[in-house]
């Protein structure tokens, strides 16, 4: 059984620009199907990542970026490594009743 190609397909002229566009679109479609989004992965919590209070030490530091404010930061350190950073949450936000 022989398949017949329509005359319109055979008569269509293909330009170099059209070929490049078609090839680029096909390549992008193939490449995008190989990529995965970061949301598709499931993050699993590790019990050892949460330090016990006896292993954890809190050290004060400051943010020294270009604003010059030197905001106080609390560094939570376990085995000499900073595990996470918190802002200063030790007091209230009232400064002599001004705000």
Phi, psi of 75 (to 5 degrees): -95, 125
Strand 81-87 to strand 72-78: parallel, antiparallel, or no bridges (unpaired)?
antiparallel
In eight-state DSSP terms, residue 90 is: S
Answer yes or no: is pLDDT of 77 > 60: yes
Q: 8 falls in which pLDDT band (50, 70, 90)?
A: low
pLDDT tens digits for 83-93?
Answer: 988 888 777 76
pTM summary value: 0.38
What integer best gives the mean pLDDT of the chain? 75
pLDDT greater at residue 29 or residue 45: 29
């Amino acid at each position: 059984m022989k398949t017949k190609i329509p005359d319109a397909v055979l008569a269509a002229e293909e330009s170099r620009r059209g070929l490049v566009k078609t090839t680029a679109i096909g390549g992008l479609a193939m490449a995008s199907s190989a990529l995965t989004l970061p949301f598709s992965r499931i993050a699993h919590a590790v019990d050892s990542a949460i330090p016990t209070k006896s292993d954890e030490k809190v050290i004060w530091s400051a943010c020294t970026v270009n604003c010059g404010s030197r905001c106080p930061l609390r560094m939570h350190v376990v085995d000499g490594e900073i595990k996470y950073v918190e802002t200063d949450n030790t007091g209230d936000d009232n400064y002599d009743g001004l705000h």
